[in-house]
Structure 1
């Protein structure tokens, strides 16, 4: 799914701060208040994106190729299936070559489109050569085309925890989209091993990925 509703939701008064983490670097204070979780997610998001961008372009390219191989192994025969991917942003795995190969093997591909803030995404069919235009954050989106319903949704992650809960960019788009769909597609989060974290402190609105594929 571009995202978790990290920066939205009901604000509550935070409990008194705990400073045990300053005494023991391995101490992790449980967070239960939404205001604290939101603040933590914002800081963790920034840390993980910076770590991702610190990896060389060549290394990210090699890891993206291994992720594509992992997706092929997980999904199997792609013919006749509609797969929603994404346009790479801020060091995300670049799967555009794999997207082209899906169409060559009889599958179909789509890209997510933000229509309005705090609303579900729509998916528009896209294949290499189709006309693109700039969408939110200047990320390219299909310039035209009717909405489609993907069988498989490939979602980039900022962070991922052992429960397959995804830390995204904070807009809540993917969670809303999955909650609103008439059927549940196979949802696969993709990212790098360096993006694994102990927890995202999942909230009731967070929807876990079905599977995760990294370069490992």
Structure 2
């Protein structure tokens, strides 16, 4: 069973990577404008004062415009730095230099705060390959965000950022996979689970 799910995930990830790769520059620019506007709307709607987010890679919906806006509006932003043990450290975003972490993901160069720093935020923005209508998130296979979300005793609202066609009826799911409360896409915000 797990081998089948694992295979299904690999196949779906490959298809999604290819779809993202063949996006035109014009499409990508329009998508990024929509994602930035919708992330800003979400943060304003929730009255967020501190956010855990991430620096997008070239194939992901762009997060930097939103991160700059958050900093300009005195919202504390924490960004992840991958660790060898599969956990995430967090560091404040200052809009300045970026580096690569140990798995090659974009990371801030500011002071590292450790894994529990995320416990103080009031909104978490995560990357995803796909999210289904029940809120199950399929990541890119490294498990960092699943471990982080799974280890939190209480979580603020968690939203994944994806392209519109990556919000699907169902994604292959394993026991460790963590759901999200909603998604942000270029065309809008979908809240799947109301957060109390």
TM range (shorter): 0.7 to 0.9
> Do 2:40 and 2:66's aligned partners in 1 also have CA atoms closer than 8 Å?
no
Distance 2:8 2:46 in 1: 39
Query: Which of the pair has more CA radius of gyration?
Result: 1
User: Post-superposition shift, 1:203?
Assistant: 2.5
2:65 to 94, 97, 101: 97
More helix by share: 2
1:198 to 165, 169, 175: 169
Q: Deviation digits for residues 1-48 of structure 1, max 9, x if unmatched?
A: xxxxxxxxxxxxxxxxxxxxxxxxxxxxxxxx1110001100110001
Q: CA deviation at 1:138?
A: 2.4
TM normalised by structure 1 equals 0.77
**In the alignment, is residue 48 of structure 1 matched against residue 19 of structure 2?**
no
Higher relative contact order (CA 8 A, sep 6+): 1
Match of residue 127, structure 1, among 91, 94, 101: 94
| Equivalent in 77, 81, 105 of residue 109 of structure 1 | 77
Return 5+ residue gaps in structure 2 as ranges: 188-196
Q: How many residues align?
A: 182
Of residues 54-63 and 134-143 in structure 1, the stretch that sits farther from structure 2 once superposed is 134-143
**1:180 paired residue number:** 151
Per-residue deviation at 1:197? 2.8
Moved more, 99-108 or 200-209: 200-209
How far off is 1:94 after superposition? 0.9
TM-score by length of 2: 0.84
Equivalent in the alignment of 1:138: 104
Aligned mates of 1:182, 1:120 — CA distance in 2? 16
Alignment RMSD: 1.9
